[in-house]
Amino acid sequence: MRLGLLYSGGKDSTLAALLCAEFYDVTLVTGSFGITDDWQHARDAAESVGFEHERLDLEREVAEEAVDRLVADGFPRNAIQHVHEHALEQLAASGFDAIADGTRRDDRVPTVSRAQAQSLEDRHDVDYIAPLSGFGRGAVDRLVEAELDVTIGPSEEIRRADYEAELRALLAEQRGTDAIEEVFPAHDQTYVTGVR
C-alpha cells in the first residue's frame, strides 16, 4: 500500500516515516506555496534518511489567509493549524492509499481530531494515520536520541521546510521583517541529517 507522509525534514515526521515503513511503501511529501524554495531542505533530509520525496502544491490563497490570521492573532497557532488542514486535504486528494503526518500526543498544534480524521477518510476514500499520536514527548525525545542524527538551532537559522518558513517570508514581504519577531516566538528547531 502506498502512503504519503507530510514531511518537514524535522524529527517528528522522520520518526513517523520510520514507523510507517514497517507496513507501507512510504513517500515523503512536502507542501509548498511556491513562495520560497524551502521545501528543498525537506527533499534533502528525505534523501539522507533514504525515502522517496515529492513536492505538494499548496494554494497561495491559503498562505495569504494564514498571514492575515498571524497578524490578527499575534501568535502562530491558528495559522499553522489552518495550513496543516489544507495540506492534508491536498494530500488526501493526490491518490495515495493512505496519508499520514507527524502529529504527536502532546502537540498543541497542529492537531487532527478523531472527527477530522474520519471526515478526511470518508470524503477521500483514504486511510489517515497519525503514527506518533500514541507517543508522548519523552518517548519521542528518547527515540530521536537513539535513532536519528539531527542538527538543532534557532528556528530562523535551521534549514527546514515546515510551513513556518514560507509564512515568515510572506509576512516579511507584506509587513517587514520586524513583524516576524512579533508573531513567532524564538524557539529551537531540529533538522534531520541521517538515521543512526
Question: Considering the complex, what minimum distance in angstroms separates the CB of residue 80 from a second copy?
Answer: 19
CA 111 to chain centre: 11
Question: Considering the complex, what minimum distance in angstroms separates the CB of residue 191 from a second copy?
Answer: 20
Closer to a second copy at the Cβ: 1 or 93? 1
Closer to a second copy at the Cβ: 138 or 176? 138
Sign of CA dihedral 144, 116, 78, 173: positive
Pairwise CA distance, residues 191 & 14, whole Å: 10
Pairwise CA distance, residues 5 & 26, whole Å: 7
Closer to a second copy at the Cβ: 6 or 19? 19
DSSP string, 176-187: -THHHHHHS---
Q: Which residues are near a second copy by CB under 8 A?
A: 1, 18-19, 21-23, 98, 100, 103, 105-106, 114, 117-118, 121, 127-136, 138-139, 142-143, 146-147
Pairwise CA distance, residues 196 & 171, whole Å: 37
Question: Considering the complex, what minimum distance in angstroms separates the CB of residue 111 from a second copy?
Answer: 11
Closer to a second copy at the Cβ: 44 or 107? 107
Pairwise CA distance, residues 118 & 93, whole Å: 15
Closest CA to 138 of 110, 104, 162: 104
Question: Considering the complex, what minimum distance in angstroms separates the CB of residue 120 from a second copy?
Answer: 10
At residue 2, what is the residue type?
A: R
Question: Considering the complex, what minimum distance in angstroms separates the CB of residue 39 from a second copy?
Answer: 24
Closer to a second copy at the Cβ: 1 or 152? 1
